[in-house]
């Protein structure tokens, strides 16, 4: 299986119907209206844009840097008769490929920490300052795509805390395309290097698959500070009750 396929299985295991219902209800409370122009900058294979579309948010454009994920997204959108345009782009190039402005820019499902690549990219930054500088460039690109008073929403994993050095998440007894699935995420945190090294062990019908990757480490407080440095106003940290992540929200 490809890395994208394995990650899609993990996403399916996490995004149970109840998880999705709670998530969309919470996310919807941050959105101005169902008529809002929304850009999902990390749509992957469909979450949460397809779910938002089903809830009546029809003015959505999606982008992702993974072509394979976008292919899955388009297949799923076709099943739902969802007319959602897609754009293949890295976040570094997004302002060059997207011509319109938006009321809401989304970067959720803990995607932001992969701003230098996913999943095999080996991250090398000389310092936390360099990481923050690179993160700031991405946030500025998101900012530049917002209408006046537009809202940026970024999700960050709850376990991205400096007191966490090792974490294990188990998603057991799940199904994927009618097959039994168990997923274990094993994560090690190097706060000095600002790198999370993780292994996803995915068992499908008794066959074990291993996927390894890295992401950056940034706390919700640090991300909120970067929002303000970018020029966003009324920045808040929304502690999520049910989701895997917390939300940082700011307005242009």
12-56: per-residue pLDDT in tens?
Answer: 888 888 999 999 999 999 999 999 999 999 999 899 999 999 999
Count of alpha carbons within 13 angstroms of residue 246, beta-carbon side: 16
Among 46, 50, 2, 52, which Cα is nearest to 27's? 52
**Total Cβ atoms within 10 A of residue 56:** 10
Q: Show the domains of the chain with their CATH numbers.
A: 3-158+219-251 (3.40.50.150)
pLDDT tens string 62-93: 999 999 999 999 999 999 899 999 999 999 99
DSSP character for 46?
A: S
Cα distance between residue 221 and residue 213, in whole Å: 24
Buried b (16+ CB within 10 A) or exposed e, 126-139: eebeebbeebeebb
- Please give the span between the terminal C-alpha atoms of the chain, in angstroms, as a whole number: 41
Supply the pLDDT for residue 121: 62
pTM above 0.85, yes or no: yes
């Amino acid at each position: 299986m490809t890395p994208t396929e394995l990650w899609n299985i993990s996403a399916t295991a996490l995004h149970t119907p109840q998880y999705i219902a709670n998530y969309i209800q919470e996310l919807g409370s941050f959105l101005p209206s169902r008529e809002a122009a929304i850009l999902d900058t990390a749509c992957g294979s469909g979450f949460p844009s397809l779910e938002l579309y089903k809830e009546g948010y029809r003015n959505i454009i999606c982008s992702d840097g993974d072509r394979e994920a976008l292919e899955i997204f388009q297949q799923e959108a076709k099943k739902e008769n969802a007319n959602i345009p897609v754009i293949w782009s890295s976040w570094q190039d997004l302002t060059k490929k997207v011509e319109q402005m938006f009321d809401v820019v989304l970067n959720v499902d803990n995607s932001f920490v992969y701003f230098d690549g996913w999943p095999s990219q080996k991250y090398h930054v000389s310092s936390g300052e360099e990481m923050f500088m690179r993160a700031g460039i991405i946030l500025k690109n998101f900012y530049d795509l917002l209408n006046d008073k537009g809202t940026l929403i970024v999700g960050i994993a709850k376990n991205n805390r400096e007191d966490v050095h090792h974490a294990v998440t188990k998603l057991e007894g799940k199904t994927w395309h009618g097959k039994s699935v168990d997923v274990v995420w094993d994560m090690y945190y190097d706060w000095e290097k600002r790198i999370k090294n993780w292994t996803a062990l995915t068992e499908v019908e008794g066959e074990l698959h291993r996927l390894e990757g890295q992401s950056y480490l940034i706390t919700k407080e640090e991300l909120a500070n970067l929002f303000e440095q970018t020029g966003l106003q009324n920045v808040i940290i929304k502690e999520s009750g049910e989701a895997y992540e917390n939300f940082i929200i700011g307005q242009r």
